[in-house]
Amino acid sequence: MNLPAPNSKSPQTPVVAAEVFQPIGEQPQGEDTIDLLEYWHSVKKRKWAILGFAAASAVLAGAISFAITPIYQGVSMVQIESRANKLVSIEDVYGGAVQAAEHYQTQTEILNSREVAERTVRALKLWELPEYSPKNKSDGLLTQIKVMLGLGSLEPETEESLVRATTDLLRENISLAPIRNSQLVKLQVESTDPVLAARLANAVAENYIINDRQSRFEVTQQASQYLQDQLGDLRAKLRQSEQALQAYRQKKGIISLGGSAQTLAGQQAGGTNEQFVAARSNRMQLEAAYQQLNAVPRGQYSGVPSIMRDPSVISAQARVTELTQKLAQLSETLGAKNNQVLQARAELQAATTSLYSAQTAVADSLLREYRAALATEKSLERELGAARSDVAEVNKEEFELAVLERDVQSNRELYDMFMSRAKETNLASEVQSAIARIVDPAVPPELPIKPRKGLLVVMVLLLSLFAGASVSVLLDMLDNTLKDGNEAESRLRLPLLTALPAIDEHEHAEMARLFIDEPNSQHAEAIRTARTGVLLSSIDQPTKCILVTSSIPGEGKTTLAINLALAHAQTKRTLLIDADMRRPQVGRRLGLNPAAKGLSNLVAGQALLPQCLHTVADSQLLVMPVGDLPPNPLELILSDRFKAELAKLMDQFEIVMIDSPPVELVSDALVIAPLATSTVLVAKAMSTPTPLVQKSIARLQRAGANMLGVVLNQLDLRKAGSYQGKYYGVEEYGYNYGGDAYTGKGYESGKPKALKGEARSRTST
């Protein structure tokens, strides 16, 4: 075996693991929006199933509609007068003042009442007709079961029971349709017989009119009897009230007051009240002056305004002021001992005495006036009280007299009204006017109103289409798998390296060599696309260690790892390592000896590197199988020797491809991911739930993996095209090389044929 030349790098070159954790992040914001185009694609994808369901439902609806007994409707137009024609003014006795709208609504309810329906049943003897015969209803299976279980009993068929049962059946078939802003009502009666439908509509309307006339006649008779009974009582009450009035007048000696006594007493009380108000006002004014006099010592009235305003006091005060000024002038010119000064002083003293006398006289006069005003006020108050008592007595007599007069007047008016009503009622009992009339009698209809076969079929067809479309959209909304490459990139937030088309069932060995066995197939071209993505992911890094894993078994990770390694082996020194020490598949699929040495032997030191490398026929690929299955796979991978051996292999090979166990089952992939240059996750289209794939990516990133991208495996191009509204073929995922043109041999309609002409069941790892 020729091993590749060792790389110039040191064997102990450490593997550079990803140091920065890159979370998967949230879903793109636009993914939560409603995409009508996706709904359309969902419906279009299942269009034939939806159309078939709708067609079957329409056919079934048509068959049912033709099997249903047709129902005809007789329509009679009835006009309801807002008020009956007034032959006499008796409407208040039994009708009252009713608003037009309320009257119209009331009559409509009466038209639909049980009484009118029962009158119609009795008039036509409907229980004798087969359609309305209660006997046909009582013999039903449900009735028999109730009788057997003791929940009911068969009542004897009397005329009353037949009428009740038939009335219920008739009312179920009657409907009213008032015409807005008019006095017209459409009376509609349904029946399986068109002639009977028209007959019943006219009969119900006629019996409504007859019932109204009879009801009004009965009310009139009752009112007349009531009025006659009341007239006797009213006549006796009128006589008693007149006798009571006359007796009161004789007792009080009243001939005819007519309000004169009350007016005279009121005028007298009013004059006394005016005098009392004036006396009180005068007393209050004098009381103010009196209080001022009591507030100062006797004789010192110079500060009392009411005294100082008196004319005599003002004159005396002026004389005192004049003599005071004269004395002051003489004292300055003649001296205090001069006779003129002495005479002036004597005159001043006399004037002061006169001022005091005037002030005292005015004060005494005010006191006398105050006492007189107080006495006058009390006297007038007593007179006013007496006048008021007289007025109250007169009012009492006038009130009692007015009550008696009103009693007589009301009894007389009530008696006259009842007498007039009694005469009108007697006349009204003889003549009654109709409150309604039939303006358009019903005629036998030509066409049934139900079932409306065409409308029923169309409605069922539309509802079936809507239901089928809703179910289709709901199924797609509940489907959380990855359906195409665009969805994988948008949901997983990772680049899509390639999408492998779904192919017919193959044996595992055949699938592992598809790249070299069918190089011109779509599958091979998709592998080339993945290889290009790997090579372009980090151009400046010459050595690459690629970890291939998946979320769960059966997603095709081993098949991808082998084919991708075969693709790289065409241009680079490539090594494929089977690190799945629990369920190894690489060696078996490539036809290697089951006892061949491999990874476990190399790490455990039981074999040398050349003994653990094996070639693949028709390729330059070297494979390192698992070797002997170890009892402790995870401890073996966690060992430092595994890291050292992996670093040596990365120095010797340009591409190292590692096939590891699924992420969600064991932790082997999480341990190997930080040691690899990049990690590729395989997801099975339309199978693996998206949340599970997102969880696996998050776990790998938390472990330190450098996520290179995602490979969508086993993608059905037809279904993917139906999801996206177009056919996904080679233009979406790569070109096929076949002969001299870009065509695929062995493929029809974008789907490769089975190898060797046979399809076998398989379970991908």
pLDDT, tens digit, 9 for 90 and up, residues 658-673: 999 999 988 899 999 9
Closest C-alpha to 672, from 663, 684, 664: 663
pLDDT at 762: 34
Domain-located, residue 277: yes
Pick 601 or 714 by higher pLDDT.
Answer: 601
Q: Is residue 54's pLDDT more than 60?
A: yes
End-to-end CA distance of the chain: give it in Å, rounded.
Answer: 30
CATH number for 370: 1.10.287
Note whether 676 and 620 are same-domain residues.
yes
Note whether 697 and 572 are same-domain residues.
yes
Task: Report the run of H or E that residue 322 belongs to, with start and end.
Answer: helix 311-333
Residues 6+ apart with CB under 8 A from 25: 493
The string of DSSP letters for 568-586 reads: HHTTS-EEEEE--SSS--H
Q: pLDDT tens across 117-127, in order?
A: 888 988 888 88
Q: Beta-carbon neighbour count of residue 80 at 10 Å?
A: 22
What is the rounded CA–CA span in Å between residue 657 and residue 625? Answer: 12
Q: For 502-511, what is the mean pLDDT?
A: 65
Pick 21 or 533 by higher pLDDT.
Answer: 533
Lowest mean pLDDT among 18-22, 75-79, 158-162, 238-242: 18-22
Note whether 593 and 506 are same-domain residues.
yes
Q: pLDDT tens across 233-284, in order?
A: 777 777 787 777 777 766 766 655 454 555 555 666 677 777 777 777 777 7
Lowest mean pLDDT among 320-334, 355-369, 526-540, 644-658: 355-369
> Counting beta carbons within 10 angstroms of the beta carbon of residue 109, is it exposed (0 to 12), middle (13 to 18) or buried (19 or more)?
exposed
Pick 27 or 707 by higher pLDDT.
Answer: 707
pLDDT at 294: 63
Domain-located, residue 13: no
What is the rounded CA–CA span in Å between residue 500 and residue 478? Answer: 24
Note whether 511 and 637 are same-domain residues.
yes
Q: What is the mean pLDDT of the chain?
A: 75
Note whether 88 and 207 are same-domain residues.
yes
Q: pLDDT tens across 88-102, in order?
A: 444 444 444 446 778
Query: What's the domain range around 516?
Result: 482-725
CATH number for 497: 3.40.50.300
What is the rounded CA–CA span in Å between residue 543 and residue 648? Answer: 11
Note whether 537 and 656 are same-domain residues.
yes
Domain-located, residue 234: no
Note whether 348 and 374 are same-domain residues.
yes
Domain-located, residue 748: no
Q: pLDDT tens across 268-280, in order?
A: 667 777 777 777 7
* Percent of the chain surpassing pLDDT 90: 16
**Domains contained in the chain, number:** 4
Q: Is residue 144's pLDDT more than 90?
A: no
Note whether 73 and 59 are same-domain residues.
no
Lowest mean pLDDT among 2-16, 330-344, 481-495, 554-568: 2-16
Domain-located, residue 241: no
Q: Kindly calculate the radius of gyration of the chain based on its CA atoms and give it in whole angstroms.
A: 61
Domain-located, residue 321: yes
DSSP state of 714: E
Note whether 140 and 115 are same-domain residues.
yes
pLDDT at 149: 67
What is the rounded CA–CA span in Å between residue 678 and residue 584? Answer: 22
Mutual angle of helices 194-252 and 339-428, in 10-degree steps: 130
Note whether 114 and 61 are same-domain residues.
no
Note whether 269 and 219 are same-domain residues.
no
Residues 6+ apart with CB under 8 A from 497: 529, 530, 533, 534, 680, 708, 709, 710, 711
User: Can you say whether the dihedral through the CA atoms of 387, 388, 390, 395 is positive or negative?
Assistant: positive
Lowest mean pLDDT among 174-178, 349-353, 692-696: 349-353
Note whether 391 and 337 are same-domain residues.
yes
Q: Is residue 428's pLDDT more than 60?
A: no
pLDDT at 576: 94
Domain-located, residue 253: no
State if pTM tops 0.85: no
Lowest mean pLDDT among 72-86, 319-333, 713-727: 713-727
Domain-located, residue 240: no
Pick 438 or 20 by higher pLDDT.
Answer: 438
Q: What are phi and psi of 403, to 5 degrees?
A: -60, -45
Q: pLDDT tens across 440-474, in order?
A: 898 998 888 888 878 888 998 999 989 988 888 88
Most confident of 316-325, 360-369, 513-522: 513-522
